[in-house]
Amino acid sequence: MPDTPRPTGAPFRPSILVTGAAGNLGREVVDRLRAHGAPVRGLVRDQTGPHPGAGQATGDLTDAAAVRAALVGIDTVFLIWPLLDSAPAHDLVAELVAAAPRVVYLSSTAVDDEAARQSDPVVQVHADMEALLRDAGLRPLVLRSDTLASNARGWAQQLRAGDVVSGPDMAPTAVVDERDVADAAVAVLLEQHGQPDDGPYLLTGPEVLSRTDQVALLGAALRRRLRFRAVTTDLARSQMLADGRPERLVEALISASVHRPASHRTTDHIERLTGRPARTFARWAVDRAAEFS
C-alpha cells in the first residue's frame, strides 16, 4: 500500500480491485464503490457476460499474467476466491505479495479456528486461503460471511415450474443479505468509520433460518404457499449433475449438506461496520420477489 499521507478531511479513495465482480456479491460491492466515487476495477472472466458494467479487467484468477495486469495501480483488493481449491491461488498470492496492496478477504463464518480440518471442502478452502494470505505476510483483513441470501436465486427455476423447492437440506444458519455483506465490505474498503480493527468480522443475518423457513418466507413475499422438500443425497447429487453443475461442485455441496453443522450464532458486526442493523431474509425476499416471477 502506498504510504502517501492522506490529505486531512478528504474522503479515503483507494484504487480498489474486486474479484468475482460479476457474481452475486461482487457486483453489489462494485456498484457501491462506484456510487461512492471510488476508483474501482472489477475482475471478470467474461466482459460480455450478463453484468458487463462490473468489469474493467478480464481474466481468470488462476492466470498470473492477468492478475498482474489487473493489479497495476491498485492499492486495495477485495478478494473473492470462488474456487474449490486453494492450490491454484499460489500464483495469485505471489502477485499480491509483489504488488503489496491492502487485502480484504471474503471468507466464511463456518471456518472453525480450532479445527484441524474443516467440515467440508467449501469451508476448507476458506480456511486455507486465510492461512495462505496470512503466511505470505499480506495481513489480510478477513470478512467471514454467513450463508448468502442470494443463494436462494438458485430456486427461481423450480419456482417457475411449481410451489416446491427440492434439494439437499442444509443445517440452519443466520442467512445474511448480500447487500449487507457488500455494505460492510465497502465500509472496510473505504475505512468509512476509521481504520477497522484486524477482524475477523463475522457477518451474519439477524435470525437463524432453516431451508424450510427460507422457502416459507419467500412464499410470503410472493404470496404463494411454497414448501421445501429435502431429498436424499443420492437424489440431490443426480439432480444437480443433471442440471449441468460440475461434479466437483456437486460433491462439495453434498458434503456441506451432510457435514456442516448448524450455526445459531448471530452477531452485530454488520451494524458495527455499517451503522445499521442487518436486513432480514423476509426483507430480501420482498425486494427480490420480481426475480422469481
Ligand X SMILES: NC(=O)c1ccc[n+]([C@@H]2O[C@H](COP(=O)([O-])OP(=O)(O)OC[C@H]3O[C@@H](n4cnc5c(N)ncnc54)[C@H](OP(=O)(O)O)[C@@H]3O)[C@@H](O)[C@H]2O)c1
Binding site for ligand X (CB under 6 A): 20, 22-26, 45-46, 49, 60-62, 80-83, 106, 108, 145, 147-148, 150-151
Kindly tell me which of 108 and 267 has the beta carbon lying closer to ligand X: 108
Cβ burial, residue 233 (10 Å; 0-12/13-18/19+): middle
Note the residue count of the chain.
293
- Cα separation, 101 vs 86, whole angstroms: 20
Q: Which helix (H) or strand (E) holds 77?
A: strand 76-79
Cβ of residue 282: shortest distance to ligand X, in angstroms? 18
Kindly tell me which of 34 and 45 has the beta carbon lying closer to ligand X: 45
- Cα separation, 138 vs 105, whole angstroms: 11
Cβ of residue 32: shortest distance to ligand X, in angstroms? 14
Cβ of residue 93: shortest distance to ligand X, in angstroms? 14
- Cα separation, 183 vs 228, whole angstroms: 30
| DSSP-assigned beta bridge partners for residue 108 | 145
CB contact at 8 A, 172 and 264: yes
Cβ of residue 28: shortest distance to ligand X, in angstroms? 8
The residue number with the shortest CB distance to ligand X is 23
Kindly tell me which of 103 and 148 has the beta carbon lying closer to ligand X: 148
Cβ of residue 98: shortest distance to ligand X, in angstroms? 19
Cβ of residue 276: shortest distance to ligand X, in angstroms? 21
| CA angle (147 as vertex; 150, 185 as ends), nearest 5 | 80
Cβ burial, residue 153 (10 Å; 0-12/13-18/19+): middle
Kindly tell me which of 20 and 101 has the beta carbon lying closer to ligand X: 20
Backbone angles phi, psi at 104, to 5 degrees: -110, 120
SS3 40: strand
Peptide bond connecting 200 to the previous residue in cis, omega within 30 degrees of 0: yes
- Cα separation, 6 vs 267, whole angstroms: 32
Cβ of residue 166: shortest distance to ligand X, in angstroms? 19
Kindly tell me which of 12 and 199 has the beta carbon lying closer to ligand X: 199
Kindly tell me which of 99 and 143 has the beta carbon lying closer to ligand X: 143
Kindly tell me which of 13 and 153 has the beta carbon lying closer to ligand X: 153
| DSSP-assigned beta bridge partners for residue 142 | 105
